[in-house]
Amino acid sequence: MTTLEQAAVADLVRNTLAAHKSLFLATAGSAGPWVGGVYFAESGEFTLNLVLEDRGRTLAAIREHPVVSVVVSTGSPMQPFLQAQASAELVGGDEDARVRELLVSKVPEAAPFLAAPVTAVRLTVSKWRATDIANGVLPGVELPGPRLP
């Protein structure tokens, strides 16, 4: 992929993340696979911040197996959408406060959830697969994340 093509895919990823307040989060734990919708806020193209119910099935699965899948989509394949696998990290202290701040800044209607017993979670995406059928991006194209040491 040329630098220009990679820049266009990065723009597609950034624009799609910015256009959505929620995503579909898939987990797998001892209770089996599970998919739920959650509000999120991005901090860069490869980091997603969210909160999950302390007693929910999603958080329980992440504690058992911190690898998840995400889909950022309206639900219509004719609208741009993103797919990825990510590693999930439970965060506390100052990072918990930062996740909550980012979330409410992007999604003000998420504020009531923060009064409930929730845990802050940060997802690190290794690479995105972006699809935009209406603009000829089919099959989807990948945007690799930064290489970790």
Interatomic CA distance for residues 15 and 21, integer angstroms? 12
CA distance 115 to 104: 12
**Topology of the domain covering 3-144:** Pnp Oxidase; Chain A (2.30.110)
| pTM, 2 dp | 0.94
User: Residue-wise pLDDT tens for the chain (149 aa)?
Assistant: 676 688 999 999 999 999 999 999 999 999 999 999 999 999 999 999 999 999 999 999 999 999 999 999 999 999 999 999 999 999 999 999 999 999 999 999 999 999 999 999 999 999 999 999 999 888 899 999 987 55
Quick check: 48 and 122 in contact, CB under 8 A? yes
